[in-house]
Amino acid sequence: MLLMSIGLYVFYTEIRPTVIFGLREDYAQAIPYQQVPVGLKSLKAEDCGDCHQEIYEEWKTSIHAHAYTDPFFQAYWKKDGNVWVCLNCHTPLENQQPTLIQDVPRGRVEKAFEIPNYRYDQAYQQEGVTCAACHVRDGVILGPYDDSAAPHPTRYDPSFRTTQICYRCHNVVSGPMQFYNVGPCGTYAESEGEFFIKERGFTCQTCHMPEVKRPMANGSPIRYGRRHLWRGGHDPDMIQKAVAVQVQSDPPTPGPGDDVTLTLTLINAGAGHKIPTGDPDRFFSVDFLVKDATGKVVQQQTDTMGRWIMWHPVIWEVYDNRLLPLASRDYTFGYELPRTEKGWSVVARIRYHILTDDQHQMLIDRYGLKSEDPYVFTIYEQEFPLDATLAAALDQPDNHPELGCAVPKRSEGVHLPTGMS
């Protein structure tokens, strides 16, 4: 027993990393300390907004702006012992971090040597992924144009026109004793490289920073730029735009007492990466709920789509049934129609979960989560009559929701929403 206890202690303290992801050289350190470029008052986003007002107002609404203050991040970070490495993406500038990392023995994040950062700006830390995190290096403002005329030094950086600008923080890798197929937050690695990138020329920015024609700064020429919104995994409207849904019945016109099979087809029609992506806790649930004439649920079936990860004793990705770009999956439900009862119906519903109910309660009970922000979103819900009018109801336009991303036509039998071609 003593030897087993010693073995477990050595395993958890010296072999198995505490942190659920590994280090990669480019995010193992904070972005080096940045000086205020000549012509600017400070690096604060509000001061950038003096000239870039529209961009600043968009940034304020983004998850980037709240990357540090987000209550879910704060609760999860507390759960992980407030480990320093999380800040390298959530407050990526050295200016924003209270300590400096001197060494990481054997790549073990939890054993790093830290010293106080005398240039740490606590107020600036609250800005999360702020303007300078992407746009300031060595006293120069970087951007996607090579002809900028501004009251501060500027330089063209081609990475702003590629996916490379997103790589640092959206391709977190696995570490020792961690057996993910893709790292825990590996959206970049999950990107589809043929149709979206090669044929259509899409980058991450195509969907997450939509193109807009406007002045980039007060009084500057009108040109094509991008919105600084970064809507993604925390935004139900963005999730809704990624999927297409069709529900069919067999037989198409059932009668009383017939066995009817409903098939819900869920398509990753608009995302250039797997869905769901990002945090491994995220998942979809697909529900069929049979209701009687009073609205009481008399039968229910639920299927889930996501990643199933075993966290102890090693991290092992047991199962991953998420949808690749342009892929689809059928969910079927069988039911015998009532012979005499009328007014019965079946609800087909898809919900998107940022985390499970149990995880949410755990963050409240143990790690101080106080946010009332929703963590479950209904992204599709339709109610269909369980009678001979079922086929007609399935053929209504509401059964084919319109999406915002253009995708290719698919084979017959899977109807993409109006306007998608």
Angle, to 10 degrees, between the axis of helix 71-79 and the axis of helix 357-367?
A: 70
Residue 210: is the preceding peptide bond cis (ω within 30°)?
no
Q: Is 407 helix (H, G, I), strand (E, B) or coil?
A: coil
Please report, for the chain, the start and end positions of each structural domain, with discontinuous segments joined by +. Answer: 17-226, 236-399
Q: Is 286 helix (H, G, I), strand (E, B) or coil?
A: strand
In order along its 421 residues, the chain shows pLDDT tens digits of: 767 767 665 566 666 677 778 888 888 899 999 999 999 999 999 999 999 999 999 999 999 999 999 999 999 999 989 999 999 999 999 999 999 999 988 888 888 999 999 999 999 999 999 999 999 999 999 999 988 888 999 999 999 999 999 999 998 888 877 888 888 888 888 887 677 877 888 899 999 999 999 999 998 899 999 999 999 988 999 999 999 999 999 988 888 888 999 999 999 998 999 999 998 999 999 999 999 999 999 999 999 999 998 887 888 899 999 999 999 999 999 999 888 888 999 999 999 999 999 999 999 999 999 888 889 999 999 999 988 888 888 876 555 444 434 433 322 233 333 223 2
Q: Are 132 and 140 in contact (CB under 8 A)?
A: no
pTM: 0.88
Homologous superfamily, domain 236-399: Immunoglobulins (2.60.40.10)
Instruction: Say how far apart CA 407 and CA 421 lie, in whole Å.
Output: 6
